[in-house]
Chain A
Amino acid sequence: MKHLCLALLLLLVASTVSPAFAQACPIGHQPGSSLLFPYFEVDTTNPGGLTTLISVNNESNQARLTRVVVWSNWAVPVLAFDLYLKPFDLQTMNLRDVLNGNVPSTGEGADLSGFPFCSSPDFTPVHTNPVFVDNRMLQLRAYLSGVAGPLDTLCAGQFLSDSRARGYITVDVVDECSGLELLAPGEPVVFTPENTAFPYFGPAGGTRIAIEANVLWGDLFYLDPAGNSAQGVEAVPIVADETRFAGPNVYTFYGRYSGFDGRDKRYPLPTLWATRFLNGGAFTGGTDLIVWRDTKSASIARRGCSVGPVWRPLRTSFLTARDEDGGIVTSLTADDSLVPIATQKVSVASIGIGANFGRMQFALAGGPSLENPTEGWVLPIMTASGRFSLDFNATPVNDGCSVSP
Chain B
Amino acid sequence: MKSAWWIVFVGWLATANPGFAVGVKCDAGPNHKPGATLLFPYFEVDLGNPAGRTTLLSVNNVLTTPILARVQIWTDWAIPALGFDLYLLGSDVQTINLRDVLVTGTLPVTGSGFNLDAFPGCSTEPPTQAAGRLPTALLDSLRADLTGKLNALAGGLCAGHSHGDDHARGYITVDVVNRCTGIRAGTEGTPAEVEGDEPYFLDSGNGLAGDVNALWGDLVFVDGAGNAAQGVEAVALWADGSEFTGRTRTFYGRYSAFDGRDNRVPLASDWRARFLNGGAFTGGTDFLVFRDTRSPDVQRVRCGSHPSWYPLPTRLVARDENAVVQSSQPDSTAFGLATQRVSLASLGIPTDFGLLELRLQRWTPTGTGGASRITRYPGWVIPVLTAGGRFSVGVNATAAEIDCFGPP
Contact = CB atoms under 8 A, between A and B. Distances in A.
A98 to B, nearest CB: 16
A359 B393 contact: no
A1 B319 CA distance: 69
A217 B60 CA distance: 28
Contacts of B343: none
Contact of B398 (A26, A217, A221): A217
Contacts of A274: 60, 62, 216
Contacts of B94: 324
B19 interface: yes
Closest 6 CB pairs of A and B: A232-B393, A390-B231, A26-B31, A20-B19, A28-B31, A26-B28
B25 A26 contact: yes
B390 interface: yes
B90 A5 contact: no
Contact of B33 (A234, A361, A395): A395
B393 A230 contact: yes
Contacts of A82: none
Contacts of B25: 23-24, 26
A396 B32 contact: yes
A393 interface: yes
Nearest to A394: B233
Interface in A361-393: 361, 382, 384, 387-393
A326 B91 contact: yes
B22 interface: yes
B32 A395 contact: yes
B266 interface: no
Interface string A10-36: 001100110111111011111100000
B1 A26 contact: no
A54 B87 CA distance: 41
Contacts of A223: 280, 391
A110 to B, nearest CB: 11
Interface string B225-263: 001111111001000000000000000000000000000
Contact of A9 (B9, B28, B393, B396): B9
B375 to A, nearest CB: 21
B34 interface: yes
A308 interface: no
Interface in A38-57: 53, 55, 57
B233 A395 contact: yes
Interface in A79-135: 86-92
Contact of A24 (B24, B233, B391): B24
A391 B220 CA distance: 9
A358 interface: yes
Contacts of B340: none
27 contacts: A9-B5, A20-B19, A21-B22, A26-B28, A30-B399, A30-B402, A57-B355, A89-B322, A90-B323, A90-B354, A92-B321, A217-B272, A224-B391, A229-B391, A230-B280, A232-B394, A276-B58, A325-B92, A326-B89, A326-B92, A359-B93, A384-B229, A390-B394, A392-B233, A395-B34, A396-B32, A397-B34
Contact of B5 (A6, A92, A217, A325): A6
B19 A399 contact: yes
A231 B393 CA distance: 5
Given A57-B274, A274-B60, A397-B18, A13 B9 contact: yes
Interface string B380-408: 00000101001111111111111000000
B135 interface: no
B222 interface: yes
Nearest to B215: A395
B393 A20 contact: no
A86 B321 CA distance: 10
A108 to B, nearest CB: 11
B229 A31 contact: no
Contacts of B397: 29, 234
A388 B323 contact: no
Contacts of B5: 5-6, 9
A93 to B, nearest CB: 12
B347 interface: no
Given A27-B32, A392-B218, A282 B229 contact: yes
Contacts of B34: 395, 397
A228 interface: yes
B159 to A, nearest CB: 29
A219 B355 CA distance: 12
